[in-house]
Amino acid sequence: MRSPTWNLWHAREVMRRSGPPSATALQATCLSLLLAAACSDKGACPPGDQDCPCVAGLCLTGFTCRDDVCVPVPGEGSGEPTGADQASTTDAPSTGGDPTDDASGCAEPSPILPRSPDPACLPEVPCVDDSNCPSGHVCNTVSSPPQCALLYCGVAGTPCHADSICEPGLRCHDGLCNPCTFCGDRCSVDFSRDPVHCGCCDNPIPSEGACIDGVPSCVGNDVLCEGVCVDLSTDPSNCGECGRSVPSGTGMECVNGEIRCPIVDDPWFQESVCDGTCVRLNFDSQNCGACGATCLGGTSCSSGYCYRQVSGTADSCDSICGGLGMDCAYSHAYCGNWNSALACHQEAPGSICSPVGSRNIMVCRCNPIPA
């Protein structure tokens, strides 16, 4: 029967020659094999048995390492590897899974705090690089001073320089073993400028916005409307104020925060908004000179007046406009190259045209009926 010392050496050699262990198997399968080999002539780890030493400070579950000997822990004994002298749960840093709420009700994960490495992970061997360390260990260069550390042994908060220092499922981030569960799957978050987690987890910035000092914000003169940053001076869905839309199919635009018709070069043809539609007040017979002002009797609108032209009449424009239900605004008489402004009540003189007695053309400007 070989000695426990030989069994221990043999188990370590098996683990060394088998190559780097997987993250999930190292502390379970390989370490269980190592412990079993060390105690193979006993078949178990009896309490106080000097022939069953601790392996790198570890014992099977149900036992803990005291003075390099595995001794029982009351009420336990499942047979899985466990570390000796584990820190109490009150000393363990938060992994970020327990959020805290600020005044706005926005959840922020607790930070990962540094902690001293578990003694079970350190064989107390100083090092310069990995070549100074026993099999299954690496040189943890961030330790002060640098020393060898058991692979995949560091819990959250343990100083590290590589993922291999940390327990399976943890990553080495900013020199500490980190579960990287901040805001879901992050190792850390800069709440002051992160576009997805602005100020706290799951608080994204608006479209076209930015995270400024932890506050989802719009830039420049933009304003936040329904989670989107918009320019109220030009946005057709938020013109002048949030939710004020430019009616579709009307030809209107948002100009300087006002819903209005497009500006044209010639003021004569400039359109105005009437009942949500762009119209030319100079020419529209239903909006002649003003919205809703109507020309009656089939008269046409020009320059804000309703025009009626009558040839060969002896009637005044008072009579012509009145017969259409409107008042006369202005009257003109024409005959050839001659024209004359007349008062609304005046009839066109019959003597000015040739032959004598023929009637001239009367052009009447009638006032449209207001809305």
Q: How far apart are CA 192 and CA 212, in angstroms?
A: 6
282 band by pLDDT with thresholds 50, 70 and 90: very high
Cβ count near 123 (within 10 Å): 16
Q: How far apart are CA 303 and CA 288, in angstroms?
A: 8
Residue bearing tokens 């009656």: 296
Position 328, amino acid? C
Instruction: Tell me the C-alpha to C-alpha distance, in Å, between residue 272 and each of 247, 292, 300, 329, 355.
Output: 14, 12, 18, 23, 47
**pTM for this model (two decimals):** 0.40
Q: How far apart are CA 10 and CA 8, in angstroms?
A: 5
What is the residue extent of each domain of the chain?
4-86, 102-188, 232-280, 300-367
pLDDT tens readout for residues 318-336: 999 999 999 999 898 877 6
41 band by pLDDT with thresholds 50, 70 and 90: very low
Could you tell me the two tokens for 167?
Answer: 């327990």
Q: How far apart are CA 209 and CA 327, in angstroms?
A: 58
Query: What was the pLDDT predicted at 85?
Result: 35
244 band by pLDDT with thresholds 50, 70 and 90: very high
Q: How far apart are CA 47 and CA 67, in angstroms?
A: 12
Q: Kindly tell me if the per-residue pLDDT of 258 is higher than 80.
A: yes
Q: How far apart are CA 129 and CA 127, in angstroms?
A: 6
How many percent of the chain have pLDDT more than 90? 30
pLDDT, greater one: 2 or 339: 339
- Residue 301 is classified by DSSP as E
Query: What was the pLDDT predicted at 338?
Result: 63
Could you tell me the two tokens for 76?
Answer: 């336990």
Instruction: Write the CB contacts of 129 (distance below 8 Å, at least 6 apart in sequence).
Output: 139, 141
- Taking phi over 0 as left and psi of -120 to 50 as alpha, with beta for the rest, 191 belongs to alpha
Question: Would you call 291 helix, strand, or coil by DSSP?
Answer: coil
pLDDT tens readout for residues 359-370: 568 889 999 999
297 band by pLDDT with thresholds 50, 70 and 90: very high
Q: Which helix (H) or strand (E) holds 334?
A: strand 327-335
Buried-exposed string 336-371: b where 16+ CB fall within 10 A, e elsewhere: eeeeeebebeebbeeebbeeeeebbbbbbbbbbbee
Cβ count near 251 (within 10 Å): 14
Residue bearing tokens 């002298």: 85
Could you tell me the two tokens for 142?
Answer: 């961030």
Could you tell me the two tokens for 339?
Answer: 């024209």
